[in-house]
Amino acid sequence: MPRLRQVLAGLPQPEAADGRLVLAVDVTHWLRPDAPTSADRLFCHVYGRSGRSSDQFVPGWPYSFVVALETGRTSWCQILDALRLGPADDVAEVTAAQVRRAVENLIDTGRWHAGDRDILIVFDAGYDAPRMAYLLEGLPVEVLGRMRTDRVMRKPVPVPWISPPQGGRPPKHGKEFRFAKSDTWGEPDAATVQATDRYGTARAMAWDRIHPRLTTRSAWIDHTSELPVIEGTLIRLQVDRLPGGHDPLPVWLWSSATSLSGEGVDLRWQAFLRRFDLEHTFRMIKQTLGWTRPKLRTPEAADRWTWLIVAAHTQLRLARPLAADLRRPWEKPTEPGRLTPARVRRAFRNLRPNLPCPARAPKPNRPGPGRPLGSKNRHPATRYNVGKTARRPETIAERDQLRP
């Protein structure tokens, strides 16, 4: 699908309030629990399925999406790329390659020029933001990701560093910064307070040059040179209330940019909140466009159908300024240009007769007779296992044992 990716990147892209491009990355699942003859299925983490409140692991195909976010409250996103994650894929490396391809397409199509602000890439807590920043090094991007609340990072080494009497090499890391212990934070380098309609008062604190202390294990097990020091800005966001009435917990964000001002800190956490617009897009393509409705057997057919859904969603987005508001009697009127994806789809039937159709009308056909009733299936389909087929070693000893 390289041509389609280029076309999507060449379309007019939405921009943030400061004029930069903001991309969001997330994974959604095409659940196939009753398809043992489908290959490349993985255990997908889902919540509250079948009326249960606990999380479950259901076999299915996970898909990684890269979208361009709009500014303000909206349900629209511009889908740029979709990629199915396979059993042998390293999620971080495959996602980094996917984002790199999307950014390069934006540059090649002229949507980003030298001198523009760096493209902001927003990740959720399922990705290690410092590692993603390292994997995307060399691109004009800034990584912004949510961090787990139990993380422990490091402060920068004080400058000037006073060497001890016995001498030795100067340290690479400063004191610990424990998210769960406020006495390890110290004074923030920036602090802001903003009044919002949905969350009440939003208080943000930021610490500059906070970085993780990397070790030669897990994701960095094959790193042969000296481990890097990946510095960034750590942001703690606290709000008064949540729209659903739940107790608000603090949100920790890490940005690969350093020396941020108070205005820059506010722009980062507001861009992270815009990432949730991607959830509306997932609901739209699943419930309205029928992305996960077909019972396809092969993952290759699922990939083709996924790109057809992406093309259909893009058509609806391009038809936004042309669609009229065909609202239900109980729905409130909407301003022109602010129609939701569902309302644009409802009005699309009035636009379709006036649009050119490059494809021919489908030829009518009847399904084949199939296997005669009562006959035995002499060619049963192959059954496939579910789960990962490759695992990264956790320690150096385990890595050496796996090597020939």
More confident residue, 384 or 399: 384
Check pLDDT > 60 for residue 50. no
Residues 221 and 112 in one domain: no
Residues 256 and 306 in one domain: no
DSSP state of 362: P
- Taking CA atoms, 291 is separated from 29, 167, 181, 275, 286, in Å, by 11, 64, 44, 21, 5
Is residue 288 one of the residues assigned to a domain?
A: yes
Check pLDDT > 90 for residue 225. no
Residues 183 and 227 in one domain: yes
Q: What is the pLDDT of residue 404?
A: 58
Overall number of domains in the chain = 2
Q: Is the peptide bond before 165 cis (omega within 30 degrees of 0)?
A: no
Residues 195 and 113 in one domain: no
Is residue 375 one of the residues assigned to a domain?
A: no
Residues 256 and 301 in one domain: no
The whole-number average pLDDT for the span 175-180 is 94
Is residue 376 one of the residues assigned to a domain?
A: no
Residues 215 and 177 in one domain: yes
Residues 196 and 283 in one domain: no
Check pLDDT > 90 for residue 243. no
Q: What is the pTM (predicted TM-score) of this model?
A: 0.90
Question: Mean pLDDT, the chain, as a whole number?
Answer: 89
Is residue 36 one of the residues assigned to a domain?
A: yes
Residues 92 and 27 in one domain: yes
Q: Domain of 248?
A: 147-159+170-261
Check pLDDT > 80 for residue 250. yes
Is residue 119 one of the residues assigned to a domain?
A: yes
Q: How far apart are CA 35 and CA 23, in angstroms?
A: 33
More confident residue, 83 or 165: 83
Is residue 268 one of the residues assigned to a domain?
A: no
Residue 252: CB atoms within 10 A of its CB come to 19
Residue 368: which region, alpha, beta or left (left: phi > 0; alpha: psi -120 to 50)? beta
Residue from 340, 346, 328, 335 nearest 281 by CA: 340
Residues 299 and 217 in one domain: no
Check pLDDT > 60 for residue 315. yes
Which backbone phi and psi does 7 adopt, to 5 degrees?
-65, -45
Share of the chain above pLDDT 90, in %: 61
Residues 107 and 217 in one domain: no
Is residue 371 one of the residues assigned to a domain?
A: no
Residues 119 and 89 in one domain: yes
Is residue 164 one of the residues assigned to a domain?
A: no
Q: How far apart are CA 162 and CA 310, in angstroms?
A: 58
Residues 105 and 174 in one domain: no
User: Residue 394 contacts by C-beta under 8 Å, 6 or more apart in sequence?
Assistant: 217, 218, 221
